[in-house]
Amino acid sequence: MKGSRWSFLALMVALLPFCCRGEGVFDNFRLLVQRPNSAGVFSGDFNGAKTEADPLTALQRTFAGSIIPLEVFNVNSSLLSPQALCQYLQKFNPEITVCEPDQRVQVEAPSATPNDPLYAQQWNFKAINMQKAWATGQYGDPQKRVRVCMVDTGIDITHPDLVSNLWMNPVEMNGPGANAANGYQNGIDDDGNGIIDDIYGADFVNGGKDGNIQDQNGHGTFVAGVVGAVTNNGLGVAGINQYAQLVGCRFMDATGNGWVSDAIRCFEYCLSKDTQVLSNSWGGVDYSKALQAALDHLSARGALVVASAGNDGMDTDTTPHYPSSLPDDIIIAVGASTRQNALWVRSNYGVNTVHVMAPGVNVVSTGLGGLYVQLTGTSMATPHVAGTAALLLAQYLKNGWQVTTVAPNKGLASQLKKIIMQSATKVNGASIKSGLLNTAAALALVPLKPTAESIGAFSSDFSKHTVQGVSSTNTTAALGPAVDWSATFDPSQPGGGSPDTTAAPGNSSSSGAPNSSLPAFPSDLFYPSPPTPPAPPEPLFNVNGTSSAAHPWDLPSNRPLMPGDSLASIEKRASAGGPAASAESSSAAAGPPQSLLDRIFGGRRLRAFPTPAA
């Protein structure tokens, strides 16, 4: 049986170049493979082919994440196209959900502009109404600092206008032997995420994995400065969120080029460090199912992906630009505007696919070596929106909300996107979905916490109690999201009956109306009639109101309800979602050397077999 299996495998290898031949010469390419079952993660030595003529020579696993199961292979083949190889693999292994060529990505290259040595003002901040935003007292919160992940070419960690706002990994900083003198680098993976000394972030360039995020291009340093340059320090430029924590994830090299697979690795890393906003000033790739799956995971965790719309001057409604054109309610595509608040001539546009525009022409920000530079492009526009989103999250925190991406929190990112788009200033003639970013107007739309709960009278009929009305009242400012109410008997308490639940959706009152209530439902909740009325114990209601948007909040009333009951304060918490996700993926333990060809042809489940003796 064993001999016949290997004979079959040898025959399939021999026939592979003929049965699956594509057209053209393909040589080296990278292949992405994704499966829903991470239990069968590839590991070991995959150099099973014997000659350069074999199409699967020199395959090497570079990544398999526990959050986003993804496998990347380097393929040396002059006989098969990536599409033909994927077709063949999926034919024999139907559990493969994604098989596609990995793609090279690049920064949205800025236009060449004069590089003046000193800039006296940042016109871009005036354009998005930053002065009015800051006048509200919202600069970001030094005690509750929002993290923004810069998925780019890295950050200049020595720039004096950025150093104080760089995120630093507290676990790595407090490892044995780590101290300021050695840059907190002790050569140990203190947080157990597989990356040694990731003090400021992670570096995944070309499939690598280390903690050196030092920018060698300048692009990432520039966008980081727009988001969160240190402000009021008498030096250089200001940042939109003056207390943002900048998490660096470097996946593009000194030339501004990188791989989709490494961008996905950055997404996973950003989530593991509880970053709520991801800034992405890169693109120009084809549609990728793997990238879409990664965004779906970000969506479930409430992280907002801000992406540049591209510098091609094209309508992305008809010619998509990825990743900014991916269909997801947590991604916001950003076009570039001029000093005249018009759409920049080279910015991509689209009434459905470019959601907002922001200043992107002759923008000044931080550069390499402690310098400052002036650049143009949608790359420069994108961090304005990322910084604004971080400022909105700071306002959420100030208003009492809990903000995290550690637990499932679907809805937060879409709420941020909605606020940014609804508050944008309309611009005539700009073919985009909303308008020009208006940070001050966006801040005004961040919902405040409810300040009172009231529970209406219920009937005196001892066979039932009727909750006549439940409402939440905001006595300070504009109302937040709609509330869905439910009322349930607690059968474990005296007077409690069956745990039936009656629910009804709430409705938002008009925006800006203080002291307005969110009307609830009249509903009947039955419990057994006592044998000797009218002296039954009071039933215990559990009445809850849950927001139907961003962070759900609960309004518990775990006690007997009396007519006119009210609560002076509200307990509000983030949506329950089970235990926090693991900070990092863990690789499967490496076993004995295995041939990838054996795994491919070993059966429909990509099973592993020992390498046969020579």
315 is catalytic: no
Helix, strand, coil percentages (3-state) for the chain, rounded to 5, are 25, 20, 55
The whole-angstrom separation of Cα 62 and Cα 121 is 45
The DSSP 8-state label assigned to residue 253 in this structure reads -
Consecutive H or E run containing 92 = helix 82-92
- Work out whether the CA dihedral 301, 304, 308, 313 comes out positive or negative: positive
Residues contacting residue 233 through CB under 8 Å, at least 6 positions apart: 161, 164
292 SS3 class:
helix
Distance between CA atoms of 518 and 380, rounded to whole angstroms? 41
DSSP three-state, residue 390: helix
Tokens of 263: 């961008």
CB contact set of 207 (below 8 Å; sequence gap of 6+): 62, 63, 72, 259, 261, 262
The alpha carbon of 122 is separated from its chain's Cα centroid by a whole number of angstroms, namely: 29
431 a catalytic residue: no
161 and 259 in contact (C-beta within 8 Å)?
no
Catalytic residue check, 152: yes
φ/ψ bin of 557: left (φ > 0), alpha (ψ from -120 to 50), beta (otherwise)? beta
Q: Which of 159, 219, 355, 551 is catalytic?
A: 219
Q: Which residues of 100-131 are buried (b: 16+ CB within 10 A; e: fewer)?
A: bbbbebbbbebeeeeeeeebeebebbebbbbe
For residues 555 and 449, the answer to whether their CB atoms sit within 8 Å is no
Q: How many angstroms separate the CA atoms of 79 and 238, rounded?
A: 54
Q: What tokens were used for 31?
A: 């292949």
Catalytic residue among 54, 152, 262, 598: 152
Q: Which of 379, 414, 423, 595 is catalytic?
A: 379
Peptide bond into 17 cis (omega under 30): no
Q: Mind telling me the catalytic residues?
A: 152, 219, 379
